[in-house]
A and B are shown apart, each in its own frame.
Chain A
Amino acid sequence: MDSFIFFALLQDGITTGAIYLLLAIGLLITFSVTRVIFVPQGDLLAFGALTAASLQSGHVPGTLWLLDGFSVLALVMSRNWLAWGVYPLVLTAAAWFLAPLEQPAISILLALAIVTPMGPLIWRLAFRPVADASVLSLLIVSMALHFVIIGMGLVFFGPEEARVPAITDTSFDLGQLNISGQSLCVLGSCVVLVAGLRWFFNATMHGKALRAAASDRLGARLVGIDANATGALAFGLAAFIAALAGVLIGAVTPLSYDAGFDIGLKGFVAAIMGGLVSYPLAAAGAVLVGVLESLGSFWASAYREVIVFTLLIPVLVWLSLRAGSGEERA
């Protein structure tokens, strides 16, 4: 392996690692605030990509009707007219008029606007009623949701793959290495998002409330932080991140309705490396998974998944040794 191949693999690994990093962040936010392991996050990634692709071909995507349906249910449950009444109506009208324009930027923004509210809606409809259940019960609900969402994905988008319009198709040479503009876009978005989240968590009231809820749920409630609002906010962030990852990766490679789960799983591996609490460790884990996957594909492509998931075992052993026994936070 010469240095050219090594750097090409490194570039490829870091680009995919950045996507895993985004998903790992989403998983960490939802888990630390609500104790839900948000399995369908990967499916929302596919929703984001396919919604953008569908808008780009001039169609009104099925996910919009799903959003409307969910909103009606949420409206019945909580009467939040602004969030579940006005917003979906405005968005539906906007999509109806803007989809035929087939403008890449508009398609991508609309896709983000459609998929992001699915996070709070999923929280409101599926998790809030059982918010105090055990981590295991929440995981089971999460798994069930994954199958529901994947089934709807097949109905909305069919079995074919689709490609999101690329934000840029330029590429430039760095020595021997050809770097595509799109992979820089992925990295750039990742950096902007991480910086934005850092500012959000440190400087805004909502962000501080999320941190408080994450560090001590009961204590946060005692000082008057609304657990339901923080839950909805956490899911909204996770859904936005997933949709963003979707439109980014969907421009590099065509995605099908069921492609999200595998990506989500790799993000989960990265989040586990951070012990499901540490963002910097999860970030390092995500890049490690991406690069390892790339190197693994080069050396022994048939065993690549084995290599990536075997990585989990020592981490889990170390985590359980360190944690001792029976330390589940209520």
Chain B
Amino acid sequence: MKMRLMAAAAVAGMLAATGIAQAQIKIGAIMSISGPGAAMGVGYKGAFELFPSEIAGQKVEYIIRDDATDASTGYAIAQKMISEDHVDAIIGPSLTATDAAVAPLANQAKVPMLAMAPYEYDPQKQPYTFNDAQPLSLIVAKVFSYMKARGVKDIGYIGFADGWGDQVLAATRQSAATDNIKILTDERYARTDTTCEAQALKLISAHPQAIMMGNSATPAALPVVALRRLGYKGPIYGNHGIVSPAFIKVGGAAVNGVIAATSPVVVADQLPDSDPIKPVATKFVKDYMAKFPGQGVGPFAGYSFDAFLLLQAAIPPALKAGKPGTEAFRVALRDALENTHALVGVSGVYDMSPTNHNGQDSRAAVLVEVKDGAWKAIQ
């Protein structure tokens, strides 16, 4: 019995040794697959099914973990990934709060991380953190450029009475200052509110030419329905948080004409042929739909896919500096990510630099409008 055990141990040891000799790349992924963020998690996770198991001749192992939409769980997972699984890079987390929790950990351990939620940070202080989701300011600036072209001079703002409402307002103030548009009033409501009539009345009585919304998901339909019911005729604009079929389903006919900016992948087939993102995004959407028939492609699957594309491009040069699993490899991987140049993803075109670890430009946002019960790209 003892002999047999020892033999088993020896075989296991040999297997482990060959494993090290083959030196596969380990990529950890932290995503909110369950909990309140589950609706987005489906997309984040789904994209992983499309990733190849080999990059640049190296085997790749993806370690996918669910943080249950909880920052402290995400932190614990990251800790385990770094100290026990010895991952070479982390994709995610997929929530801003979790990104903020995990970033110091990844930077300390020199593990490059690709955050997939809009997350503001200083690349000088957190050199190992990258981000492939459009910064809020980019999305809002796109909406404002459209407003300005349409001759809008003043707007009313309505948003959630929480962090998201504040963030969108900050971006709105910034864009309003550059585009010389006045913000007449700032109204707030809660996600769980059942009525928004009073705020809508206040907005209307300020007589703004247009309304900018700082809300997201289905509760975003509430002020639109109230404004239209009370007879507001001006255009209503929003951020990418509202671009989903569920928003139209809940809002019904009232949300017709609502304009927002979103990730190009959402309307891949409607992009102009001159857009470099179009071929990449349409292929991704086709592959994703083939894998998950009947499921729509939201922006979230695109963020996972772009994180993969960024790593795929950065791994070959990093392999020259060291073997996977070593610090030399991770440092070189970070340097290679920072040198990413004109990489075309499905959510934008990436041009990284030591001062910009997002690297997207205005091509990462596409204007869309609700028309006949669907989101349509504005040409």
Chain A: residues with CB nearer than 8 A to chain B? 1, 5, 8-9, 12-13, 15-16, 19, 154, 158-161, 163, 178, 180, 249, 252-256, 258-259, 261-263, 293-299, 301-302, 304-305
Check B161–A254 contact: CB distance below 8 A: no
**B238 CB-CB contact with A under 8 Å:** no
- The prevalent SS among residues of A at the interface is helix
- Give Cα A261 to B190, complex, Å: 13
Contact of B161 among A158, A253, A302 (CB under 8 A): A302
**B270 CB-CB contact with A under 8 Å:** no
Check A301–B201 contact: CB distance below 8 A: no
> Chain B contacts of A255 at CB under 8 A?
194
Task: Contacts A16-B195, A253-B195, A297-B199 given; indicate if A305 touches B190 (C-beta within 8 A).
Answer: yes
- Knowing that A1-B205, A158-B38, A255-B194 are A-B contacts, what are 19 other residue pairs whose CB atoms are under 8 Å apart, sorted by A's residue number? A5-B205, A8-B197, A12-B198, A15-B195, A16-B195, A178-B229, A252-B195, A253-B193, A254-B218, A256-B219, A258-B192, A297-B187, A297-B196, A297-B197, A301-B187, A301-B188, A302-B161, A302-B188, A304-B188
- Closest Cβ–Cβ distance, residue A153 to chain B (whole Å): 12
> Chain B contacts of A163 at CB under 8 A?
250
- Give Cα A290 to B291, complex, Å: 50
- Give Cα A238 to B193, complex, Å: 22
> Chain A contacts of B192 at CB under 8 A?
256, 258-259, 261-262
- Give Cα A325 to B23, complex, Å: 74
- Give Cα A66 to B190, complex, Å: 30
- Give Cα A253 to B221, complex, Å: 10
Check B201–A249 contact: CB distance below 8 A: no
Check B36–A301 contact: CB distance below 8 A: no
Contact of A9 among B161, B201, B218, B222 (CB under 8 A): B201
Check A253–B222 contact: CB distance below 8 A: yes
Contact of B250 among A252, A254, A294 (CB under 8 A): A254
> Chain A contacts of B201 at CB under 8 A?
5, 8-9, 298
**B246 CB-CB contact with A under 8 Å:** yes
Check B218–A161 contact: CB distance below 8 A: yes
Check B205–A301 contact: CB distance below 8 A: no
- Please give me the residue from chain A that is nearest to B198 by CB atom: A297
Q: How many residues of B contact A (CB 8 A)?
A: 28
> Chain B contacts of A161 at CB under 8 A?
218-219, 246, 250
> Chain A contacts of B218 at CB under 8 A?
160-161, 254, 256
- Give Cα A172 to B329, complex, Å: 71
- Please give me the residue from chain A that is nearest to B229 by CB atom: A178
Task: Contacts A159-B39, A253-B222, A254-B221 given; indicate if A301 touches B195 (C-beta within 8 A).
Answer: no
- Give Cα A61 to B295, complex, Å: 23
> Chain B contacts of A252 at CB under 8 A?
194-195
> Chain A contacts of B36 at CB under 8 A?
154, 159
- Closest Cβ–Cβ distance, residue B213 to chain A (whole Å): 13
Check B229–A301 contact: CB distance below 8 A: no
> Chain B contacts of A16 at CB under 8 A?
194-195
**B15 CB-CB contact with A under 8 Å:** no
**B189 CB-CB contact with A under 8 Å:** yes
**B11 CB-CB contact with A under 8 Å:** no
Task: Contacts A16-B194, A159-B39, A249-B194 given; indicate if A298 touches B199 (C-beta within 8 A).
Answer: yes
> Chain A contacts of B189 at CB under 8 A?
297, 301
**B182 CB-CB contact with A under 8 Å:** no
